[in-house]
């Protein structure tokens, strides 16, 4: 499970790197695809699709990283607030009950 989690984190971080490389450094497609395949352990098809997504929507790929970082920070803050009463299951149920609301608004409600 840890390896799967780490691979997903690597994918999120790779997204941030390639978004910057495409938008700010104008790196060519071949360089981006090579990075994703060799360094991020993605298939050639996944890498090509990700390159396409990064060129048509500049913020989508970075949003995965920023979103998961915000949720992790909220989870830790909520855990400190509840102390011994904290339950990961309860956190997930409460968090998901807000649907697709932005994390900053969910945080405001959950930390009251």
Sorted by where each begins, the domain ranges of the chain are: 2-58, 68-110
CB atoms closer than 10 angstroms to residue 55? 13
Residue 63 clears pLDDT 90, i.e. is over it: no
Q: Angle of helix 44-56 relative to helix 2-23, nearest 10 degrees? A: 50
Q: How many CB atoms lie within 10 A of CB 15?
A: 21
Contact present, 12 and 54 (Cβ < 8 Å): no
What per-residue confidence (pLDDT) applies to 64?
Answer: 86
**Alpha-carbon span 30 to 71, nearest angstrom:** 33
Contact 32, 22 (CB under 8 A): yes
Which residue, 4, 55, 63, is CA-closest to 28? 55
Place 74 in a pLDDT band, splitting at 50, 70 and 90.
very high
pTM: 0.76
């Amino acid at each position: 499970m840890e390896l799967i989690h780490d691979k997903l984190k690597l994918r999120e971080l790779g997204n941030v790197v390639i978004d910057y490389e495409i938008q700010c450094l104008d790196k060519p497609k071949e360089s981006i695809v090579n990075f994703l395949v060799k360094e991020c352990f993605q298939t050639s098809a996944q890498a090509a699709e990700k390159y396409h997504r990064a060129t048509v929507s500049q913020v989508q790929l970075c949003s995965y990283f920023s979103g998961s970082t915000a949720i992790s920070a909220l989870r830790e803050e909520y855990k400190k607030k509840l102390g011994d009463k904290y339950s990961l299951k309860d956190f997930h149920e409460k968090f998901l009950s807000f649907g697709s609301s932005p994390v900053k608004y969910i945080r405001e409600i959950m930390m009251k």
